[in-house]
């Protein structure tokens, strides 16, 4: 076990968020059971006041989880010097069986939390709160994810043993290795870049159609998640090679190092934010059928689409700059 300020901040924050979410969930159950916007009873008035409390608790909790994802990656990166064999966050995550599951759970909480914030924002724009039941049902679905993530993170940090010899990114993200990471690293760079840019073109086609015609919101969300997945693959199999200017260094975490200009943060922030907003478009666009928020939902979905496209465009611009500006030349690639 390693005790550090980051350990205390991450786990203390996770426990606090879990407590706030439990409090919010308890209130949400009451709202789901007794909510009746047409009633003028004292209980209904009390429930309406509670919605503001619940929204505040969940908003701050989700915001804290979004920051915690970045802090977790930064902490794992900074702890790499304390483990024999670790060169970056990969070695720290490999040092315990819960390392990669915790990262996956944090990413899941990021996307689920972002969607909840967008639905809550839309609901608050109507005086009749038409999405109360939907957003609190989503809250109850989000709660187990937050709790499991907090417990898994605590188990991960408590189980870290600095005397353990862990594996570095070179042994995990290599075409000669085994597992998903090795398979991704072994994909032909030209193919992965073609798929990445191809999915970007499809994303642009769907994204441009929605603001103009108000159609294909769900299609845009699906295209966004596909572009997100293929972009992550391309980062490992191709983009990282050009950043490091080394044909065999595929690690997606070394991109976060100062020696690489922190380019990883720019890539991941733009990519994750763009994908989260695209997912939000897929959730919000069908809500245009709700009469009381039809116009507002349509306007918000169009705005989210535009911002999401801008963030994806930023990601592609940074990735292209990293590839074109590199001194590495690989045979079979068109530039």
Range of the domain at 283: 169-335
* Residue 45 and residue 161 in one domain: yes
How many domains are there within the chain?
Answer: 2
Last residue of a domain, one of 111, 135, 167: 167
**Which one has a higher pLDDT value, 334 or 316?**
316
Co-location of 188 and 260 in the same domain:
yes
Answer yes or no: is pLDDT of 335 > 50. no
- Regarding whether 296 and 147 lie in a shared domain, the answer is no
Cα distance between residue 149 and residue 106, in whole Å: 7
76-85, 225-234, 307-316: least confident range = 76-85
Q: How many CA atoms lie within 13 A of 329 on its CB side?
A: 2
Average pLDDT along the chain? 85
What's the Rg (C-alpha) of the chain? 22
Rama region for 261: left / alpha / beta (φ>0; ψ in -120 to 50; rest): left
Please check the confidence at residue 54 and state whether its pLDDT lies above 50. Answer: yes
Considering the domain architecture, whether residues 175 and 116 belong to the same structural domain is answered as no
Higher pLDDT, 255 or 148: 148
| pLDDT tens figures, 202-258 | 999 888 876 655 567 889 999 999 999 999 999 998 998 899 888 877 888 888 887
Top pLDDT among 212 and 186 is at: 186
User: Are 150 and 4 part of one and the same domain?
Assistant: yes
Same domain, yes or no: 27 and 176? no
Query: In terms of domains, do 178 and 74 share one?
Result: no
Mean pLDDT to the nearest integer, 186-191: 88
- Could you tell me if 236 and 177 lie in one domain? yes
Angle at the Cα of 166 from the Cα atoms of 160 and 170, rounded to 5 degrees: 135
Q: Quick check: 77 and 253 in contact, CB under 8 A?
A: yes
One DSSP character per residue, 223-255 reads HHHHHHHHHHHHIIIIIHHHHHT-TT---SSGG
Of 145, 167, 189, at which residue does a domain stop?
Answer: 167
Question: Are 246 and 278 members of one domain?
Answer: yes
Of 131, 147, 167, which marks where a domain is finished? 167
Judgement on whether residues 140 and 284 belong to the same structural domain of the protein? no
Distance CA 160, CA 4 (A): 12
Residue 163 shares a structural domain with residue 173? no
In this structure, the answer to whether residues 108 and 241 fall within a common structural domain is: no
Cβ atoms of 230 and 297 closer than 8 Å = no
Query: pTM, whole model, 2 decimals?
Result: 0.88
In terms of DSSP H, where are the helices of 79-98? 89-94
């Amino acid at each position: 076990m390693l005790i550090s300020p980051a350990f205390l901040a991450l786990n203390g924050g996770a426990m606090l968020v879990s407590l706030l979410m439990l409090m919010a969930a308890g209130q949400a159950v009451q709202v789901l059971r007794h909510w009746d916007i047409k009633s003028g009873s004292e209980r209904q008035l009390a429930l309406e006041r509670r919605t503001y409390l619940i929204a505040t608790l969940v908003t701050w909790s989700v915001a804290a989880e979004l920051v915690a994802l970045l802090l977790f990656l930064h902490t794992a990166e900074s702890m790499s010097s304390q483990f024999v064999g670790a060169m970056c966050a990969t070695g720290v995550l490999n040092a315990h069986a819960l390392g990669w599951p915790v990262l996956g759970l944090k990413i899941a909480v990021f996307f689920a939390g972002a969607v909840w914030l967008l639905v809550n924002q839309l609901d608050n724009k109507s005086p009749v709160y038409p999405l109360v039941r939907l957003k609190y049902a989503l809250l109850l679905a989000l709660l187990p994810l937050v709790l499991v993530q907090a417990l898994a993170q605590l188990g991960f940090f408590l189980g870290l043993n600095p005397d353990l010899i862990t594996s570095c990114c070179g042994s995990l993200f290599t075409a000669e290795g085994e597992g998903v990471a090795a398979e991704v690293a072994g994909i032909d760079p030209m193919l992965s870049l073609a798929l990445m840019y191809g999915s970007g073109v499809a994303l642009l086609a769907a994204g441009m159609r929605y603001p103009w015609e108000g159609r294909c919101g769900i299609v845009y969300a699906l295209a966004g998640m596909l572009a997100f997945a293929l972009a992550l693959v391309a980062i490992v199999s191709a983009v990282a090679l050009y950043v490091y200017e080394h044909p065999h260094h595929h690690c997606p975490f070394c991109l976060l190092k100062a020696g690489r200009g922190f380019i990883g943060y720019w890539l991941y922030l733009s990519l994750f934010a763009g994908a989260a907003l695209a997912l939000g478009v897929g959730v919000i666009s069908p809500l245009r059928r709700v009469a009381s928020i039809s116009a507002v939902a349509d306007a918000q979905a169009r705005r989210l689409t535009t911002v999401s496209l801008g963030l994806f465009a930023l990601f592609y611009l940074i990735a292209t700059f990293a590839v074109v500006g590199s001194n590495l030349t690989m045979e079979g690639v068109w530039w």
